[in-house]
A and B are shown apart, each in its own frame.
Chain A
Amino acid sequence: MMDIFRDILNSNIEFCRHFGQLAHPESILIICLAVLIGIFFGVLPGLSATIGIALFTGLTYGMPLDRALLVLFGVYIGAIYGGSVSAILVNIPGTGSAAATCLDGHPLALRGEAGNANILARISSFIGTVFGMLIFLLFTPLMSKLALQFTSPEFFWLAIFGILICGSLASPDLPIKGWIAGLLGILMAMVGQEDIHGWDRLTFGNANLITGIPFVPMTIAFFGIPQIVKSMKGATTKVQAMSGRSRLQVWPLVRRNLIGILRWGSIGVGIGAVPGVGENIAAWVAYDDAKRRDKLGQKFGTGVYEGVMAPETANNAAIGGSVIPLVSLGLPGSPPTAMLLAALVLHGIRPGPMLTVENPGFIPRLAAIILWGAVFLFLCGLVLSKFMVKVLNVSLRILMPIIAVLCVIGVFAYNNNPFHLKLVFVFGVAGYFMDKMGYAPAPLILGLILGNLADAFFRRALLLNDGRMLGLISRPIAFFFFLACVITILNQLGLVRYVKKKYFGGSKT
């Protein structure tokens, strides 16, 4: 126990040191620009934090790790906040995580309180990000200690659980489709030379495929290309000028909702920490919580301040939450952190339980970067939110070809291999059709990232247990994750609800 307290104390001292070190003009300029770019990606409907990070993962490949992290986290934090600007002003969420903000943000704008709604969104996003960062700083060492107990079966079941839960929650049509996408991702990860015997799988004699299908180009293929095609086909977005002076006493409102803010922050962190789920669901759950608990619950949807604060606090708090499993288990908490995982691997950092041993200062350094990101989110939002809205007046048919060029440069910058551009095209077409058929790209990308690990851990665990399948669930943590997988599947098949109804009387909720 004392060890843990000492670790946390050391981690806090390190955090303060890194925060001070980052107060350097160069770092400040980089993170300021990155947050601005992130807000730009967030403001524009169709672009998202995931696409922004995927794009910049390739572009920051040649940079030192510290600068690359400043850029990537700046884009992430900026984009999650930026989504609220277009949600409030034009009722179109710039990112999926801002969808819940539309419900009360836009009615506020229509009432002439766009300025108030923007200020609240900005302050809530700032508080949420700082809250998530604090939890990340305090709890990641604990999680890492726990994760050191993990062996092959635990990692295998954890990977499967991540893909299952992500598939269930991310698939808009049927959960089966999310799982199919996850399995397709795992199969894609198996292309190339396997780890144990060094045999080529599914390469069909193509030397370019021996190293496997890289996930950075694939994120652009599955997230970027379908969006470019959809936006080029669709109508352009025009925004009406809407401002509204701030008449609101912001700080008394924040003080009055302090308990709520802590609760929404906790919801954000908690949901963010579930592998593969992320900010979108966190925002909806927090909105639902605010609606159920608030005296003005009935008026939610007509322009209630808490209806903006709850989702914006939660979706930004989810940033810190989703980084916890990324750093401690090597398992991304959300689609944008899946991109961050790719970026960390590219820079030679191996997220997982050994990270704190190999790079003791990494967690406090990341927390310091997140805090700087939050500071610039607040400042950039304050200065530029009105100017950023003007971006919405630019036709998507002008912006999307430019984004396509950036995507191509991002893929090419990854390792200067034109073959990957061909792969991106092929999988981009597949991604477009999968999107049309209701298959979410997030579980597929998660499957692609975790597939190789799951494969190696699965076979290694069987080797250690002389081929006995029961060996995969003989340890308590492995059994716990196995049970979680089974419950997730049964729940989606309706069996859990059936049992509840039949044997426990079942509630109507």
Chain B
Amino acid sequence: MQTTDQRSDSRMRDKDVLFALILILSSVSLIVYSLNLSIRAMRTVNATFYDAPGFSMLVISTGLLVLSVALLVVALKQGGTLQWLAPRQIRAALWNRSTLKTLAVFVYLFLYMTGFGQTIPGTHVVIPFWLTTFVFLVLMMLTFKAASIGYIVVMSGLCTLMTYLIFGYFVKIPLP
């Protein structure tokens, strides 16, 4: 019978196996990229191998490769596997409350950050700071049921006004 700690450790090692594999692939690509970069520099600007732009990257990527292999070995030794990547387990992991909450926060952050200072599609009108901020605050608090609707709207309005006054007016940050 596994204890909670052991279960959490084993889940961590499962993730370590996947991440180690991703790191191994990334570091190999970086090694190839840095060698290419160095060779090009050696041909065009007469750089030596050790002062070529890719040399440090080559050393660091090799170090990363060694550490990733070490991580993979440790994770496998401690019982890590890739069985959790089976479709049924993935579905179970994705369709739970916690994942959906995480996704919701990321979606709101994505919309707020990518919409910040952008123009309305098809026009030259910049979406104002107060509008994006107010909508973001209301949606975030409403989705997570932070308080009653009235409280959320008043709170969001006040916060938007305060941040605009403090940072836009007093600190003179050119907010959109």
Binding site for B on A (CB under 8 A): 59, 62, 173-174, 176-177, 179-180, 183-184, 186-187, 190, 194, 196-197, 199, 201-202, 225, 228-229, 232-233, 395, 397-398, 400-402, 404-406, 408-409, 412-413, 416, 418, 421-422, 424-425, 428-429, 432, 436-438, 454-455, 458-460, 462-463, 467
Contact = CB atoms under 8 A, between A and B. Distances in A.
27 contacts: A62-B171, A62-B173, A174-B71, A174-B74, A176-B71, A180-B71, A183-B60, A183-B63, A186-B60, A187-B64, A190-B56, A199-B41, A199-B53, A201-B54, A232-B101, A232-B140, A232-B144, A401-B140, A401-B146, A405-B137, A412-B116, A418-B118, A421-B116, A425-B110, A432-B102, A437-B16, A459-B51
A176 B74 contact: yes
| Shortest beta-carbon contacts, A-B, top 10 | A397-B146, A401-B140, A199-B53, A455-B56, A421-B113, A462-B50, A418-B117, A413-B173, A425-B113, A467-B50
Nearest to B133: A405
Contacts of A179: 67
Contacts of A404: 109, 112, 136, 140
A184 B146 contact: no
Given A174-B71, A459-B51, A395 B146 contact: yes
A361 B133 CA distance: 42
A222 to B, nearest CB: 14
Interface in B1-39: 12, 15-16, 19, 23, 30, 33, 37
A406 B15 contact: no
Contacts of A429: 106
B163 A459 contact: no
Given A187-B30, A199-B37, A401 B163 contact: no
B123 interface: no
B125 to A, nearest CB: 16
Nearest to A61: B173
A201 B57 contact: yes
Contact of B67 (A183, A196, A199, A438): A183
B67 A229 contact: no
A190 B57 contact: yes
B47 A197 contact: yes
A59 B144 contact: no
B124 to A, nearest CB: 16
Nearest to A400: B140
A173 B23 CA distance: 18
Nearest to B52: A197
Interface of B: 12, 15-16, 19, 23, 30, 33, 37, 41, 45, 47-57, 59-61, 63-64, 67-68, 70-71, 74, 98, 101-102, 105-106, 109-110, 112-114, 116-118, 133, 136-137, 140-141, 144-147, 155, 159, 163, 167, 171-175
A432 B106 CA distance: 10
Given A228-B105, A233-B98, A408-B112, A180 B49 contact: no
Nearest to B147: A398
B116 A184 contact: no
B163 A409 contact: yes
Given A176-B67, A418-B116, A467-B48, 6 more contacts: A59-B167, A62-B173, A180-B64, A233-B98, A395-B147, A416-B173
B67 A194 contact: no
Nearest to A201: B53
A398 B159 CA distance: 11
Contacts of A62: 171-173
B102 A233 contact: yes
Nearest to A420: B113
Contacts of A400: 140
A436 B16 CA distance: 11
A62 B167 CA distance: 11
Contacts of B57: 187, 190, 201
B85 to A, nearest CB: 15
A437 B15 contact: yes
A412 B118 contact: no
A116 to B, nearest CB: 35
Given A197-B47, A413-B173, A176 B56 contact: no
B71 A412 contact: no
Contact of A401 (B37, B114, B117, B136): B136
B64 A183 contact: yes
Contacts of B23: 180
A142 B30 CA distance: 41
Contacts of A173: 12
A434 to B, nearest CB: 9
B114 to A, nearest CB: 6
